Structure formats: structure tokens, C-alpha cells
Homo-oligomer: A and B are copies of this chain.
């Protein structure tokens, strides 16, 4: 079979593949990530690339997604284009994720700096005690004598009992086998690595000498779209570094449903599992290299993800999650050895996965409740986590009710031609003043696209300036020169001359309709849940908003487009990635893990698909800000 070389720009990565391999497959093999929402089925049009040299056949699929100009300029859909020649292919910048500047946390919570959350001692709050689930303890043991000749392991645990919070210990056979030699080789001066397991101390390793200055943990948010990892010093609780990357499972589908369809249908679970493991390993590699630490000094990983992500991470069968009556294999997961999953840290290191509530209320939201302190105080508060799913929790220290609604990837920059994650070059704020558009990008770079907070601003500004009506239709006369007249008309936020990619940053009528659906679903879910518990918005002491919008979400604009309820903006807090924050709290506090389990058990999940009023609320919310204006008294358009 003929072989051809494909070179991907701007990376310059190249690979030789068999004739007939698709460009998408070739990119995967070359390690070049191209975003797709449909998993490579030719249905989303997101994987378009430009063939700069060599011959490639334009596919009939492409016609629905690419403009005439694009087709003329050599654009193709990577997933539908077989390699039949040596090719050079340009991958648009916004299809590649810059592994930097990924938003991990928003404004600090009221009780301190994010990195101090778990350290801060709030009375009666076990989660606030600094008791890392894993750690190292240095021991100088007295040598045995005829009078004190207890067994080696008893000599170790006797001293550990004094120096740690554990009273009981367990040890693996492998570790016990080395014990006698190691103690004597190192003259009874050793460092014990231990981890909390079912309330007792599990001894992972016994090293010679004092190595307590090298003990690290990893807090991971396994999102459907992105995976974010924080490297944490377990001695101090300090976050040493953050890395993020696209979830490599995207090649099997952009959302959880299509990945489950792949894993349970034509594909198998293993590649989807291995994709996220490869993800985590490459993040570990990056953060360890960057901070010049050894991977083997990372002794614990705490991961938070939605229920499907948690199943994929542990390689548990997720197939019943998507079928009525939506049953996961487990919502509370056993502590596992990192080596069982192929995660490359300390040979005996462990992985703890944040407990979930139900098939569509995951460990990420439990982490969010933990991080926001929702379950700590008597005041009734609300947590809204907008990811690919919108998840809502209402409650206090006595009760917690939650629900989730499919929001789609719109607020994470998915499903839109100019949409991108909140990384360098994303337009995160925009304004239209006196007909003039101004914007602000992440990292002050030339624009490459627009992220969630930018879209919210855009919709608000377009409505306020009469360019978009309350149903989301573009008023073509109002925006002369900034409208691209295509089948789906587009408003130009940044002209091609201004951008890094040479393509304009735009928002189309269909994309606005999508965003309205997304915000409508989230708002309807909030409204349904508030009604369900018999409250009004005014009764909510605080609303914590979490998600990947970008770091500068404009709360009042999010209210004005009808995404968030119209309460005093001072009572709405944007907290960013609460999932990784909660994972880190668990990493730094054993009791926090127990609290997370408690939260997951306490939370009552309302299946909105079963809750009749939801659909009415959703339909009523498909308007800017809402069909019922009395819900949004402060909105001035």
C-alpha cells in the first residue's frame, strides 16, 4: 500500500501514513490535536483544516460546513479527507489548545486565598483541617534490645502513632518484605509514606533517611473538554504548578454521550480509558519537568469528574449511565493504586476519585459543593457549575438538592466557529460603545477566538445596541460592515486583519440561538430547583458560579442575558474551576474526603427529565432575558 507523509503546521510535526488514512487519524498519530464535537463523523464541521500543499479531494460533507471561499482556499474537513498524496496541512490556531493560561480558579472564596482554603481553620469544619490524605513522616527509631525486641513493623507503627493522626496501620506485603533490610541499612532512620485508607494509615513506602521535603500530590479536574492538574506540596498545601490540556477522549466524541456510544458500541472501553490516562500522564510529566521534581515523589492523586468521566478514568462500564433508568456502576469509588490505572507516579502511589451523586451529577459538583462551603453553613446557597452540563445545587448544612441539564459546550467555546477555550488569545470581554467594538483577550494577545465570558458579553452588547433582538435574531441593518452575509449570518467581533489566525472572530445567528438554548437550560434548571424546594431567588444567600467561562465573567451581563437569576450582583460570586479546588481540598484533608462522601450521600438528585415543569421553564427561558420580564426587573433592555 502506498504511504504518504503529512506535515502539520504550525507545529511542523509530520508522520507517514497509509494511503486512505483520514487526516484526522493522521493528526492523532502525529500527536496533533484537532477539535471535533461529533467524534469524527463529519457532523460538526469543527475539524476543518487547510491543505497548503499536495492534493486533497474536497468531500461532499464539507459543503455543508465550509464557505465557498474556504473551499476555494483548500479547506477540508480532516475527518472526511483521506490522505492520497504527500500533504502539508495547516491546523487553525483555535483548534489547538495552548497548554498555558487555562483558567483554573476564579475569585478567591471569601475565607481566603484559594491555596489557603484547606489550610484555613474554620470551627467545626473538618474539611478545613490540614491533614493531607497522603504524606511522609520521618522517624528516628531506637535500636531493638533484648528488653525492647518488638517486631520491626511494630517499632515503626509505635512511632507513627505518636507522629500522625492514625491509630491503626496496614502495610502491603511488598513493603513489609523490604522492611527489615531497609531499617538496618539506614540505621533506623527512615521516612514512611502513608495514605489514609478507610480511616486507617496505609503504609506505601519506607525510604532511608529524611525525604520529607519531597512529598507531592496532584489534584485533577477531569472535565469532558479539558483536563486540569494542579501539583500540590503536601507539606505546605501550596499549589506549585498547574497544567491543562484537551481531554484526549475528544477523538471518541466531544460529549459524554457520544463517548459512551463509542465505548459501548462499535469501539471498546479501553481506548477511551487509556486516552484520559495518557492525558493525566502527560500533565504529570509537564508539571514535574517544569517544577523539577521526580514523578516518583508524587504519592497521591485526587481526581474529580462527572460520573461518566469517573467511570472512564477507572475503566468502569459506563454503558448504563446513558440508558434509562440511568444507573452508574458506582458513585463512591475504591481507593486504587495508581499503577492499576497506569498512572505514572510513585510505584505504590494511590488515586482517589471524588464521589458522585448519580449518573448525571458527578464528583465535579460534589467537589464544587465542598469548595464553595455550601454544606457548611445554615444559610441556603446555590452553586451553578456551567460545563458541558449545567449542574445546580441548592442547600445548606442540613440538606442539598441538585439537578443537571444539558447545556452543551457553548459556554466553553464549543460548537461555534470562533468559539475557543479560555486560553491565550480568547476574547474574554467585549463592549459596543457608540457603535464601536472594543475587546480584551486573555494574555493581551491578538484574538484567536472567543470564550464563554466573551460570548456572554457579546450577546448582551448586541442586544443593548439593537443589533440582536430579544429572540436572538440579527438585525441586519443595524450593523453595517460588521455582518457577513452567509446562509447563517454572522456578526464580526474582530476583523481578520486584527486576529492572529487571519480569520475573523464572529458570532452567527445560529450560534446565538445555541447560546440562548444553553442559558435557557441552565436558568430553567435553577428556576425548577428553586421552585422544587419552595423558595424564591431572593431567599438564596449567595450564588456561587463555577465553570470554564474565562476568568472575567461579567456577572451583571450574565444576569442580563438571563443565564443567572436577577438578584443583587454582590450576592453572586464567580469561583472558577471549583472541581479542581475541591479535589485539592480532599488531597489536603482526609476529613474533607469523608465530608465529600457525606455530601454525595446527602444530595438529593432531581431528574429534570422526570420533572414536568422543567420543559415549560426551558421554553419560557428561550428569550432574552426571559419571556417573563418580571423575573428580571433590573434588566434595562
Which residues on A are within 8 Å of B, measured CB to CB?
144-146, 149-154, 168, 170-173, 176-177, 179-181, 184, 198, 200, 314-317, 319-320, 324-334, 336, 340, 358-359, 607, 610
Contacts and interface: CB of A to CB of B under 8 A. Distances in A.
Nearest to A153: B330
A607 B153 contact: no
B328 A151 contact: yes
Given A170-B198, A181-B317, A198-B198, A146 B324 contact: yes
Contact of A176 (B153, B176, B330): B330
A158 to B, nearest CB: 12
Given A180-B329, A181-B317, 4 more contacts: A151-B331, A172-B334, A173-B340, A179-B317
Contacts of A198: 168, 170, 198, 200
A153 B329 contact: yes
B170 A316 contact: no
B330 A173 contact: no
Nearest to A154: B331
In the complex, the 10 A-B pairs of residues with the closest C-beta atoms, listed nearest first:
A180-B317, A149-B325, A153-B330, A146-B325, A151-B331, A144-B327, A180-B329, A151-B328, A151-B330, A152-B329
Contacts of A173: 314-315, 334, 336, 340
Contacts of A610: 146
Contact of A152 (B152, B154, B327): B327
A314 B332 CA distance: 32
A147 to B, nearest CB: 8
A365 to B, nearest CB: 16
A167 to B, nearest CB: 12
A320 B177 contact: no
The binding surface of chain A is classed by DSSP as: loop
A316 B182 CA distance: 13
Contacts of A329: 151-153, 176, 179-180
A340 B174 CA distance: 9
Contacts of A177: 314-317
Contact of A149 (B153, B180, B181, B327): B327
Contacts of A319: 180
18 contacts: A146-B325, A150-B331, A151-B327, A152-B329, A172-B334, A173-B334, A173-B336, A176-B329, A176-B333, A177-B314, A177-B315, A177-B316, A179-B329, A180-B329, A181-B317, A184-B320, A198-B198, A198-B200
Of A145, A152, A173, which is in contact with the most chain B CB atoms at under 10 Å from its CB?
Answer: A173
B152 A330 contact: yes
A153 B334 CA distance: 11
A154 B325 CA distance: 15
A96 to B, nearest CB: 34
A45 to B, nearest CB: 35
A180 B340 CA distance: 19
Contact of A180 (B150, B170, B314, B316): B316
A445 to B, nearest CB: 43
A172 B336 CA distance: 8
A180 B172 CA distance: 29
Nearest to A607: B146
A146 B330 CA distance: 16
Nearest to A307: B151
Contacts of A358: 149
A317 B185 CA distance: 13
A321 to B, nearest CB: 10
Contacts of A170: 198, 334
Contacts of A320: 152, 180, 184
Of A315, A330, A610, which is in contact with the most chain B CB atoms at under 10 Å from its CB?
Answer: A330
A319 B198 CA distance: 33
Contacts of A172: 334
Nearest to A605: B149
A461 B200 CA distance: 59
Contacts of A168: 198
A484 to B, nearest CB: 46
A395 B251 CA distance: 70
Nearest to A336: B173
A599 to B, nearest CB: 16
